[in-house]
């Protein structure tokens, strides 16, 4: 065998092959090393820094006192079967590692890959993680997080749903925050809406939980105590009072709220001149339909706090109107029309205060027939608007709103914009009691007094007198404890809408293998959570809550649609009027003909009927054409967009190539001739 060293070609080949192997090894080494070394080196080019840990997260992580353990369960099989989720899992893992790094040893991260039928899988199931079948074999995979603190309290994310990717940081930080602050603040809630679930679901064991998504969010953040609408006693340890649609509240509860606020308590008030949720639910509405009364207000308290919500006004906005589908009963059969309904508002950042932590990071809020708030003259508090309409806001007709969805078209047609309205406000400052005479007289005293006065002769009223004495003493004590002026400035946030809390306006709740997964598409839930959290004193989480719920819609196409829709409505109204007139005339003529013994029609009558029929047919056609044009305007834009992006530049390149070829040919000819 020849020695390769003696054959220069073979030696060169061998060296080259070795060189290739070294290059491959070097490449793999560089990739592996960089994966280890550069875990937190990235430039985030997204407008809102979607992938950069926010200040709030860093504050939470640096403020941890007792160590926290995070166990990240991730079945590596997911990446093999579902590469998309694999990429997401890598992001989750990177983020968790970043958390551990920033927390400086206070967060310990463990990574587990639970294989089927192992102890690790049992552990994952035991902590409450959600196993998901990935193939027909029935093996389960896991992609979740379990965190524990030093007192063995546990918080979990059962399965990282990719739909919540934009909220990943919030979900993780909240989990860490909850573990670092195991004692939740107390929120007292008085609600006229079934936010915590319907009475049926609450009373029947085993009935599905139908609480609203926002309720779940509140319960994660607060120790929630539900209070009745009447005779409510606000617990001493309550950090916050939340009033949702207080429509049947009594004077004693009002007094309790007044005194709570004066003691420096924090209050979130949600009221509404017309709650669509209540009006549309036969279980909830208080009156027969139509003319449903579904309003709530706190005029006495609000007046004392320096603001009011005029009860008869429902606010709409032509510019912020949401598009809804409504069946219209026109002369051209029933059709489903998409119209901009001014009483359903989609507020963008321009309609939210960018200076206030509660609203500055929200991108979209959906409200339904809200009211408006006005500051009182000479108020001692500051009134800071948080949400408002555009300049095209206006008052809608409350009576039409009360009619419900059947009147949407009428509502749309009668709506007249007349300026900006405040829809939510922050109230701060010293206030006086709304009850200058002290606590209201307990009704029990009146009852007892009446009973004693009306007692028949010889009847023993001693027991009643004793009761009256006791009640009077209690009242006297309450009078003595009465606070007439605020001890600490009032801190309240008032929103003139309650419907925004309902799931239908902001979140899709899906059943994911038996677990409820909420995928919000608007910030409604965040508004309430921000408001409650802000008032209960924890600002750190607010800065990162609403990252990334962006809809970046094609605003240009929307504007065209809106314009076309307006034109269509106008034209439709004109044509329908004409058509109705024509049809009425035709009907009249036909009745007349039948009435005139109806056997022979005069030529004139026949001509007249034919003319009306023709007119009616023509008008119907015109109406169809207008309707067709509505879609055509948008189609035209999209056709242009397609043409420009698919064909325009290729055609230009082809023309350029052709011109270049011709120029070259000419140059060659000239060169040949010259030669």
Partner 1 sequence: MGPIATVFRREFAGYFATPVAFIFIIIFLALAGSFTFYLGYFIERGNADLQTFFLFHPWLYLLLIPAVSMRLWAEERKQGTIELFLTLPISITQAVVGKFLAAWAFVGLALALTFPMWITVNVLGEPDNGVIAAGYLGSLLMAGSYLAIGSCLSAVTKNQVIAFVLTITVSFLFTAGGSGVVVGLVQGWAPQAVVSAVQSLSFLNHFQNIAKGVIDLRDAVFFVALIAAWLAANVLVVDLKKAD
Q: What residue ranges bind partner 1 (CB under 8 A)?
A: 12-13, 16, 19-20, 23-24, 26-28, 30-32, 34-35, 38-39, 41-48, 50-51, 76, 79-83, 86-87, 90, 550-557, 638, 641-642, 644-650, 653-654, 656-657, 660-661
From residue 473, give the alpha-carbon distance in Å to each of 442, 445, 616: 11, 11, 80
The nearest distance, CB 112 to partner 1, in angstroms, is 14
The nearest distance, CB 656 to partner 1, in angstroms, is 8
The nearest distance, CB 169 to partner 1, in angstroms, is 13
Helix (H), strand (E), coil (C) string for 362-393 = CCCEEEECCCCCEECCCCCCEEEEEEECCCCE
The nearest distance, CB 285 to partner 1, in angstroms, is 36
The nearest distance, CB 164 to partner 1, in angstroms, is 16
Helix (H), strand (E), coil (C) string for 395-413 = EEEHHHHHHCHHHHHHHHH
The nearest distance, CB 348 to partner 1, in angstroms, is 11
| Strand extents, DSSP E, 393-532 | 393-397, 422-429, 490-495, 507-512, 515-520
- By C-beta, is 34 or 325 nearer to partner 1? 34
The nearest distance, CB 155 to partner 1, in angstroms, is 27
Listed residue (378, 393, 464, 382) closest to 423, CA to CA:
393
- By C-beta, is 41 or 454 nearer to partner 1? 41
- By C-beta, is 204 or 644 nearer to partner 1? 644
- By C-beta, is 395 or 547 nearer to partner 1? 547
Each residue of 510-546: b (16+ CB within 10 Å) or e?
Answer: eeeeeeebbbbebbbbbbbbbbbbbbbebebbbbbbb
- By C-beta, is 35 or 399 nearer to partner 1? 35
Q: Tell me which residue has tokens 């950090």.
A: 239
The nearest distance, CB 42 to partner 1, in angstroms, is 4
The nearest distance, CB 194 to partner 1, in angstroms, is 34
Listed residue (345, 323, 337) closest to 394, CA to CA:
345
For residue 559, which phi and psi values (nearest 5 degrees)? -65, -40
For residue 343, which phi and psi values (nearest 5 degrees)? -80, -10
- By C-beta, is 304 or 364 nearer to partner 1? 364
- By C-beta, is 41 or 151 nearer to partner 1? 41
User: Rounded distance, CA 586 to CA 366, Å?
Assistant: 46
The nearest distance, CB 497 to partner 1, in angstroms, is 26
The nearest distance, CB 395 to partner 1, in angstroms, is 31
- By C-beta, is 479 or 664 nearer to partner 1? 664
Count CB atoms within 10 A of the CB of residue 460: 8
The answer to whether the beta carbons of residues 56 and 95 sit under 8 Å apart is no
From residue 268, give the alpha-carbon distance in Å to each of 491, 533, 544: 9, 10, 21
DSSP letter, residue 352 = B
From residue 537, give the alpha-carbon distance in Å to each of 461, 547, 574, 614: 52, 21, 57, 72
The nearest distance, CB 482 to partner 1, in angstroms, is 55
Angle between helices 168-180 and 213-221 (to 10 degrees): 40
- By C-beta, is 16 or 382 nearer to partner 1? 16
User: Rounded distance, CA 351 to CA 390, Å?
Assistant: 7
- By C-beta, is 494 or 549 nearer to partner 1? 549
- By C-beta, is 455 or 646 nearer to partner 1? 646
- By C-beta, is 79 or 214 nearer to partner 1? 79
Listed residue (454, 35, 501) closest to 242, CA to CA:
501
The nearest distance, CB 36 to partner 1, in angstroms, is 9
Three-state secondary structure call for residue 423: strand
User: Rounded distance, CA 415 to CA 408, Å?
Assistant: 11
Vertex 374: Cα angle to 373 and 375 (nearest 5): 130
The nearest distance, CB 657 to partner 1, in angstroms, is 4
- By C-beta, is 470 or 649 nearer to partner 1? 649
The answer to whether the beta carbons of residues 578 and 619 sit under 8 Å apart is yes
From residue 405, give the alpha-carbon distance in Å to each of 293, 340, 369, 496: 15, 13, 12, 21
The answer to whether the beta carbons of residues 503 and 366 sit under 8 Å apart is no
Query: How far is C-alpha 483 from the chain's CA centre?
Result: 38
Torsion of CA 124, 130, 135, 139, to 10 degrees: 30
The nearest distance, CB 389 to partner 1, in angstroms, is 21
- By C-beta, is 488 or 653 nearer to partner 1? 653
Q: Tell me which residue has tokens 């606000």.
A: 234
**What count of Cα atoms within 13 Å lies in the side-chain half-sphere of residue 615?**
18
- By C-beta, is 26 or 207 nearer to partner 1? 26
The nearest distance, CB 339 to partner 1, in angstroms, is 18
- By C-beta, is 296 or 561 nearer to partner 1? 561
What is the sign, positive or negative, of the torsion defined by CA atoms of 511, 517, 521, 524? Answer: positive
């Amino acid at each position: 065998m020849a020695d390769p060293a003696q054959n220069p070609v073979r030696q060169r080949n061998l060296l080259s092959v070795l060189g290739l192997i070294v290059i491959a090894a070097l490449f793999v080494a560089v990739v592996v090393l960089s994966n280890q070394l550069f875990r937190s080196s990235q430039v985030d080019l997204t407008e809102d820094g979607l992938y950069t840990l926010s200040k709030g997260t860093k504050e939470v992580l640096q403020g941890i006192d007792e160590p926290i353990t995070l166990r990240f369960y991730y079945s590596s099989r997911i990446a093999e079967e579902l590469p998309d989720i694999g990429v997401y899992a890598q992001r989750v893992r990177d983020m968790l590692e970043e958390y551990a790094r920033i927390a400086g040893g206070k967060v310990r991260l463990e990574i587990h890959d639970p294989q089927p039928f192992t102890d690790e899988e049992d552990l994952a199931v035991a902590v409450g993680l959600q196993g998901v079948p990935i193939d027909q074999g029935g093996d389960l995979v896991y992609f979740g997080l379990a965190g524990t603190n030093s007192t063995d309290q546990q918080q979990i994310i059962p399965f990282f749903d990719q739909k919540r990717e934009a909220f990943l940081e919030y979900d993780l930080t909240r989990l860490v925050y909850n573990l670092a602050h195991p004692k939740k603040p107390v929120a007292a809630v008085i609600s006229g809406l079934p936010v915590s679930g319907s009475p049926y679901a609450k009373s029947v064991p085993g009935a599905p939980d139908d609480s609203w998504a926002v309720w779940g969010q509140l319960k994660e953040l607060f120790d929630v105590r539900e209070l009745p609408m009447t005779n409510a006693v606000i617990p001493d340890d309550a950090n916050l009072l939340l009033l949702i649609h207080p429509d049947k509240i009594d004077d004693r509860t009002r007094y309790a709220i007044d005194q709570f606020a004066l003691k420096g308590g924090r209050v979130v008030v949600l009221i509404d001149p017309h709650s669509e949720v209540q009006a549309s639910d036969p279980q909830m509405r208080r009156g027969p339909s139509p003319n449903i009364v579904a309003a709530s207000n706190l005029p006495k308290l609000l007046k004392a706090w320096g603001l009011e919500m005029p009860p008869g006004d429902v606010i709409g906005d032509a510019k912020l109107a949401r598009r809804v589908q409504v069946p219209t009963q026109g002369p051209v059969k029933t059709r489903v029309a998409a119209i901009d309904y001014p009483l359903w508002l989609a507020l963008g950042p321009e309609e939210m205060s960018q200076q206030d932590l509660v609203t500055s990071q929200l991108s979209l809020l959906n409200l339904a027939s809200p009211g408006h708030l006005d500051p009182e003259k000479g108020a001692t508090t500051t009134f800071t608007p948080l949400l408002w309409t555009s300049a095209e806001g206006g008052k809608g007709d409350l009576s039409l709103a009360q009619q419900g969805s059947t009147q949407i078209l009428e509502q749309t047609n009668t709506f007249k914009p007349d300026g900006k309205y405040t829809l939510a406000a922050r109230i701060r400052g010293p206030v006086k009691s709304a009850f200058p005479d002290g606590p209201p007289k307990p009704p029990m005293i009146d009852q007892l007094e009446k009973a004693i006065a009306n007692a028949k002769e010889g009847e023993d009223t001693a027991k009643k007198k004793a009761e009256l004495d006791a009640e009077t003493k209690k009242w006297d004590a309450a009078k003595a404890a009465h606070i007439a002026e605020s001890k600490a400035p009032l801190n309240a946030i008032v929103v003139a809408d309650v419907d925004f809390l309902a799931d239908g306006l902001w979140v899709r709740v899906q059943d994911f293998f038996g677990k409820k997964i909420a995928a919000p598409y608007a910030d409604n839930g965040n508004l309430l959570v921000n408001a409650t959290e802000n008032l209960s004193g924890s600002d750190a989480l607010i800065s990162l809550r609403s990252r990334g719920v962006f809809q970046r819609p094609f605003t240009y196409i929307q504007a065209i649609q809106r314009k076309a829709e307006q034109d269509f409505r106008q034209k439709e109204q004109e044509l329908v009027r004409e058509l109705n007139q024509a049809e009425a005339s035709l009907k009249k003529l036909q009745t007349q003909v039948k009435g005139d013994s109806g056997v022979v029609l005069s030529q004139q009558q026949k001509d007249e009927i034919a003319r009306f029929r023709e007119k009616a047919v023509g008008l119907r056609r015109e109406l169809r054409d207008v309707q067709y044009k509505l879609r055509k305007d948008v189609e035209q834009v999209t056709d242009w967009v397609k043409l420009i992006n698919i064909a325009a530049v290729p055609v230009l390149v082809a023309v350029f190539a052709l011109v270049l070829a011709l120029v070259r040919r000419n140059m060659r000819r000239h060169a040949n001739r010259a030669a």
